[in-house]
Amino acid sequence: MSDITSQSLFELKSNIKEKKLSSEEITKAFINRAEKSKKLNVYVTDNFEKAIDQSKKFDSNPNLDFKLPGIPIAVKDLFCTNGVRTTAGSKILNNFVPTYESTVTQNLWSQGAILLGKLNCDEFAMGSSNETSFFGNVQNPVGENLVPGGSSGGSSAAVAANLTPVTIGTDTGGSIRQPASFTGTVGLKPTYGSCSRYGIVAFASSLDQAGPMTKNVRDCSMLLEVISSFDQKDSTSIDYKRNSYSKELSKDIKGKKIGIPKEYRVDNMPDEIEQLWKNGILYAKDCGAEIIDISLPHTNYALPTYYIVAPAEASSNLARYDGVKYGFRSPGQNLIEMYEKTRSEGFGDEVKRRIMIGTYVLSSGYYDAYYLKAQKVRQLIKKDFDDAFSKVDAILTPSTPSSAFKIGEKTNDPVSMYLNDIFTVPINLAGLPGISIPAGKDKNNYPLGLQVIGKPFDEQNILNISYALEDKINFKNDISDWWLSE
Amino acid sequence: MSIDLKTVKHISKLARISVDDEKANKLKGDLNNIFEFIEKLNELNTDNVQALTSIAETTLRFRKDEIKSENIREKILKNSPEENKDFFVVPKVVE
């Protein structure tokens, strides 16, 4: 049997079912590795003691019908967990202990999973490198002083470094797919309305979705099956029949029409990414798919649109952090001064920048010029996809315009940081499902990903295409455990 | 268009985030760079485009208007920055 922590979710499940491993053994193996992996800084809060208790409890009366039987899982620190501190990577929530559970994490525990702890992320999920976290940056296990992507950077690093078998992240503009691409892992953003947003710290409510981050496509299909559910507590949750994604997973993609959008060929894109994309197209053809050239003409307007819509929604969502009801408070002479000091000291620079952008575009006299304009362009972007999907079943693109960059390389230039999400943002604006799978490496041996985009609620199709491509690509992440301490 | 220092201070007031002059100057630079990037949208004519208001093409659900008494006062006050078992405490508002 291979080392416990390097096993996939399905391997761990079958070892538990065949009684070759106990939940306690598995849980302790992950905890033991975490203790030696502090250098990566993936954990904000651990739940190790309680996790061991829960694993013993599971072993004393194991329910093997569960989809995640006794499997320990760490989650992004954006999901509220009852009785376990939830910070969203921010000083302003440094001492916040929720008295309720997010629906998506509840779905994990209801299928037998055990909480290992809360994973680092960019503050309020605003960032593409995990460098905006109040709890410090995360190291990418792929190489020293590389960012793991963001905002779900602690999550992507934890999966790649074998510190959790699988995890869940959230994706507002690429925050699952970009870090998955940077770490050689799989990440899926579901259709808007698939996974409940209840109990997830809100960033931009019309874009936010939770989704699985895993080592392979099959694990991803199982985790999606568990977390995707209709929920009365989320007013935008959609009631539709969800597939049994893992059972229906198939490599048969013969006759599927896959679109290649010419606008995703951007200036200064490294040759390796161009080559990776070409290889992906060849593999898809090998599998019997039909390749069709398509156009998404408003692609270049997606990022400017996103940087109006997302900050506008964020400025409104983050108004609740005022030092009155929970979280950090800085005392003031009067109520207004308390608000202003609390928010000034409690939020980091990037969050403040985005609140300011959002406040400005929503302020009197500017609403039409910015916010309304952006919502109109968003309609055009959505229409691009509607038109494309009348001709094709899925779209294949690179996940990111570059591989992982060095820590500190882009922190002084917000716009260059924003450009990371050029291929992922349009999918959030259109509410579509998208998945990033590892597809190759650049000249530095850093992983690169390909993205498969689907029609609304067509997660099964993009999982199947990814499953077929994964088999052809046969990607191997060679991670040397350079960070381990005794 | 460019955002001046006065505008930065005005936005910070609206956002209830205090900024000193040094921070305001830094923000002025950042915001101008970001808005230069955003202004690209002006290339597009959107006169006849309807603004997108909801990405999920569904109407909001109704639920029964029922009173649910869950006795959650304690839970709600649990994370309150200044301890009090009945209320949230803030600096004096009315003189």
- Produce one character per residue of A10-42: b if its CB has 16 or more CB atoms within 10 Å, e if not: ebbbebbeeeebbbbebbbbbbebbeebeebbb
For residue range A140-183, what is the model confidence (pLDDT) as tens digits?
A: 999 999 999 999 999 999 999 999 999 999 999 999 999 999 99
Mean pLDDT of A340-363: 97
Q: Is A435 helix (H, G, I), strand (E, B) or coil?
A: strand
Residue A1 pLDDT grade (very low, low, confident, very high; cuts 50, 70, 90): low
The single-letter DSSP state of residue A438 is E
- Tokens linked to A129: 């490198």
Count of pairs with CB atoms under 8 A, one residue in A, one in B: 157
In tens, the pLDDT along A46-73 reads 999 999 999 999 999 999 999 999 999 9
**pLDDT > 90: what percent of chain A?**
95
Task: Please report the pLDDT score of residue B84 as a whole number.
Answer: 78
Q: Which of A175-179, A184-188, A338-342, B78-82 has the lowest mean pLDDT?
A: B78-82
Please, how many CA atoms are within 13 Å of residue A36, restricted to the half-sphere of its CB? 15
Rounded Cα distance, A218 and A188, in Å: 12
Tell me whether residues B52 and A375 touch, CB distance under 8 A.
Answer: yes
Domain of residue B24 covers: 5-43
At A244, list the tokens.
């049994």
Assign A387 a pLDDT band (cuts: 50, 70, 90): very high
Distance from CA of B56 to the nearest CA of A (A): 7
Q: Is residue B36 part of a domain?
A: yes
Is the predicted pLDDT of residue A332 greater than 80, yes or no?
yes
Q: pLDDT exceeding 70 applies to what percent of chain A?
A: 100
Alpha-carbon distance of A344 to A355, in angstroms, equals 11
pLDDT of residue A157: 98
Q: Which residue of B lies nearest to A419 if distances are taken between CA atoms? A: B37
Tell which of A171, A238, A303, A359 to mutate to test the B interface (max B CBs under 10 Å): A359
Q: Is B53 inside a domain boundary?
A: no
Nearest chain B residue to A301 by CA distance is B41
pLDDT digits (tens, 9 = 90+) for A399-427: 999 999 999 999 888 888 888 899 999 99
pLDDT digits 0-9 by tens, B17-65:
999 999 999 999 999 999 999 999 999 999 999 999 888 777 788 888 8
- Domains in chain A, please, with CATH? 4-257+459-473 (3.90.1300.10)
Chain A 242-281, CB below 8 Å of chain B: which residues?
Answer: none
Evaluate whether A184 touches A447 at the Cβ level (below 8 Å): yes
**Residue whose pair of structure tokens reads 């320990």 in the numeric block:** A72
Structure tokens that stand for A274 in this block: 């161009």
Q: Are strands A290-294 and A114-119 parallel, antiparallel or unpaired?
A: unpaired
In a domain, B64, yes or no: no
Long-range contacts of B57-61 (CB under 8 A, 24+ apart): B58/A193, B58/A236, B58/A238, B60/A235, B61/A232, B61/A235
Note the pLDDT of residue A219: 98
Among chain B residues, the shortest Cα distance to A372 is held by B51
At A473 the three-state DSSP class reads: helix
Rounded to 5 degrees, φ, ψ at B91 are -60, 155
Q: In DSSP terms, which residues pair with A72 in a beta bridge?
A: A114
* Residue at B14 is within a domain: yes
Q: Which helix (H) or strand (E) holds A209?
A: strand A209-214
Regarding beta strands A447-454 and A290-294, do their DSSP bridges make them parallel or antiparallel, or are they unpaired?
Answer: unpaired
Cβ–Cβ gap A235/B41 under 8 Å: no
Residue B22 sits in a domain whose CATH number is: 1.10.20
For residues A419 and A361, which has the higher predicted lDDT (pLDDT)? A361
Residue B69 pLDDT > 80: no
Tell me the sheet residues that pair with A454. A394
Chain B residues 55-94 within an 8 A CB cutoff of chain A: 55-56, 58, 60-61, 63, 72, 75-76, 78-82, 88, 90-93
Task: Decide: helix, strand or coil at residue B56.
Answer: coil
CA distance A205 to chain B (A): 11
The residues pairing with A211 across neighbouring beta strands, listed in sequence order, are A169
The backbone torsions φ and ψ at residue B24, rounded to the nearest 5 degrees and listed phi first, read -65, -40
What is the structure's pLDDT at B92? 86
Q: Which residues contact A16 (CB under 8 A, 6 or more apart)?
A: A22, A23, A26, A62, A64, A69, A70, A71
Residue A410's alpha-carbon distances to A150, A209, A234, A308, in angstroms, are 13, 26, 36, 21
Query: Does B14 sit within 8 Å of A363, measured CB to CB?
Result: yes
Virtual torsion, Cα B18, B22, B24, B27, nearest 10 deg: -120
Q: How far apart are CA B67 and CA B54, in angstroms?
A: 29
**Tens-digit pLDDT profile for residues A425-478:** 999 999 999 999 999 999 999 999 999 999 999 999 999 999 999 999 999 998
Position A432, amino acid: L
pLDDT over 70 at B1, yes or no:
no
**Dihedrals phi, psi of A435, to nearest 5 degrees:** -130, 140
Look up tokens 């994370």; give the residue.
B79
CA distance A443 to chain B (A): 31
Residue B22 lies in a domain: yes
Q: Is residue B48 part of a domain?
A: no
Q: Which sign does the torsion angle of CA A13, A16, A20, A22 carry?
A: positive
Q: What is the DSSP secondary structure assignment for residue A134, as one 8-state letter?
A: T
* B49/A373 touch (CB, cutoff 8 Å), yes or no: no
Average pLDDT of chain A, as a whole number: 96
Would residue B88 count as lying in a domain?
no
C-alpha–C-alpha distance, residues A446 and B95, integer Å: 62
**The total number of structural domains that make up chain B:** 1
In a domain, B26, yes or no: yes
Is A76 catalytic? The answer is: yes
* Residue A247 near residue A375 (C-beta atoms within 8 A): no
Instruction: Indicate the pLDDT class of residue A268, thresholds 50, 70 and 90.
Output: confident
Residues of A in contact with B68 (CB under 8 A): none
Show the CA angle centred on residue A100, arms to residues A98 and A105, nearest 5°.
100
Q: What are phi and psi of A326, to 5 degrees?
A: -165, 170
pLDDT at position A378:
98
B-chain residues near A323 (CB < 8 A): 81
